[in-house]
Amino acid sequence: MRTPGTGSWLAVSGEPVVWEIADRPVPYPDATDRMEREAELIAAGKAPERVWLL
């Protein structure tokens, strides 16, 4: 998250973002269910941020 006045969008600390590429199409309901679970873990500080390419 950007801190006003710093001019930087980079995180100060934390784990690197995880990149994941799906090897096959993922049904929409399955993808949204997983993304909601991942978002809860990320918000709780229990998982790193993730970019998931579907």
Q: What is the full per-residue pLDDT of the chain (54 aa) written as tens digits?
A: 555 666 666 655 678 999 999 999 999 999 999 999 999 999 999 999 999 999
- The H-or-E segment that residue 19 falls in is strand 18-21
Q: For residue 46, what are its two tokens?
A: 């229990």
Q: Which pLDDT does position 4 carry in this prediction? A: 61
Distance CA 53, CA 31 (A): 11
User: Are the CB atoms for 20 and 48 separated by under 8 Å?
Assistant: no
Q: Which pLDDT does position 15 carry in this prediction? A: 81
- Which pTM value belongs to this model? 0.68
